[in-house]
């Protein structure tokens, strides 16, 4: 869904904010954009440089982007905003770096799926697994942050989980398949936004 939105936008200077392994950066570069990826994790940036050698990658924070004012035509931020305690600082930065008329495409796991346990975990250097921060931002929180920063809403999508053998994860399905199906039926998996900088 994110790729469909990105592919329909004019090519230009694109920022993949919280780029991770650079999957969207690679897609944008292949589509003819000049791409900058920013992430706070040097390890992720090392993957991204291998995955998208055409793009440039810089270490930085979503709330203090190492990017000049009004210097990009497109920002995408995928599966990262829920790790922040508040949306407004990141949206202020997206608004700052985008030129007027530029586009912002965000995606996150849907807050309803966070309630069902869809929270990422990571293993630290000592082998200890812990859950990552996961704020439950509702659509109203995105609209408030985006409109407050100077964006207009172009589109909002809430794609549902597919009804499949893997809904709820293989482990839960093994023990309580009917309950998992009932919990995930008609439940949105993601929240995808397309905003325009006014
Ligand atoms: C689940 S990954 C998503 C990566 C990529 N956008 C994608 O969709 O494949 C979340 C990424 O956000 C990055 N991240 C988390 N908090 C951040 C912050 N405050 N500033 C910059 N990057 C951040 C993490 O390092 C990680 O690479």
Q: How remote is the CA of residue 87 from the centroid of ligand 1, in Å?
A: 14
* Ligand 1 and 44: CB distance under 6 A: yes
What's the CA gap between 188 and 198, in Å, rounded?
29
* pLDDT for res 173: 78
pLDDT of residue 168: 64
Length of the chain: 198
Supply the pLDDT for residue 164. Answer: 64
CA 33/CA 6 separation, integer angstroms: 10
Cβ(41) to ligand 1 under 6 A?
A: yes
Q: Determine the Cα–Cα distance for residues 123 and 97; give it in Å rounded to an integer.
A: 33
Range of the domain at 187: 2-197
Beta carbon of 87 within 6 Å of any ligand 1 atom: no
- Residue by residue, what is the 3-state secondary structure of the chain? CHHHHHHCCCCCEEEEECCCCCHHHHHHHHCCCEEEEEECCHHHHHHHHHHCCCCEEEECECCECCCCCCCEEEEEEECCHHHCCCCHHHHHHHHHHEEEEEEEEEEEECHHHHHCCCCCEEECCCCCEEECCCCCCCHHHHHHHHHHHCEEEEEEECCECCCCCCCCCHHHHHHHHHHHHHHHCCCECEEEEEEEEC
What pLDDT score does 178 carry?
86
Per-position pLDDT tens, the chain of length 198: 999 999 999 999 999 999 999 999 999 999 999 999 999 999 999 999 999 999 999 999 999 999 999 999 999 999 999 999 999 999 999 999 999 999 999 999 999 999 888 888 889 889 999 999 999 999 999 999 999 999 999 999 999 987 766 566 667 778 888 888 888 888 899 999 999 999
Q: Is 79 in the pocket of ligand 1 (CB under 6 A)?
A: yes
CATH of residue 162 = 3.40.50.150
Measure 11 CA to ligand 1 centroid, in angstroms. Answer: 23
Residue-level pLDDT at 162: 78
196 lines ligand 1 (CB under 6 A): no
CB of residue 61 inside a 6 A radius of ligand 1: yes
Alpha carbon nearest to ligand 1 atom 13, residue: 18
Does 3 contact ligand 1 (Cβ within 6 A)? no
| Tally of domains within the chain | 1
Q: Rounded to whole angstroms, how far apart are CA atoms 60 and 41?
A: 8
């Amino acid at each position: 869904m994110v790729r469909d939105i990105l592919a329909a936008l004019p090519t230009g200077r694109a920022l993949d904010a919280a780029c991770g392994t650079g999957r969207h950066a690679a897609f944008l570069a292949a589509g003819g954009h000049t791409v900058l990826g920013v992430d706070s994790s040097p390890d992720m940036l090392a993957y991204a440089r291998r995955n998208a050698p055409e793009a440039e990658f810089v270490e930085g924070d979503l709330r203090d982007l190492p990017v000049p004012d009004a210097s990009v035509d497109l920002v995408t931020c995928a599966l990262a905003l829920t790790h922040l305690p508040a949306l407004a600082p990141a949206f202020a930065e997206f608004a700052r770096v985008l030129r007027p008329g530029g586009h912002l495409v965000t995606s996150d796991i849907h807050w309803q799926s966070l309630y069902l346990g869809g929270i990422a975990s990571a293993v630290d250097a000592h082998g200890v697994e812990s859950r990552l921060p996961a704020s439950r931002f509702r659509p109203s929180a995105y609209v408030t942050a985006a409109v407050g920063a100077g964006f207009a809403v172009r589109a909002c999508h809430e794609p549902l989980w597919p009804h499949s053998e893997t809904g709820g994860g293989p482990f839960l399905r093994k023990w309580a398949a009917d309950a998992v199906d009932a919990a995930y039926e008609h439940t949105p998996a993601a929240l995808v936004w397309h905003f325009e900088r006014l």
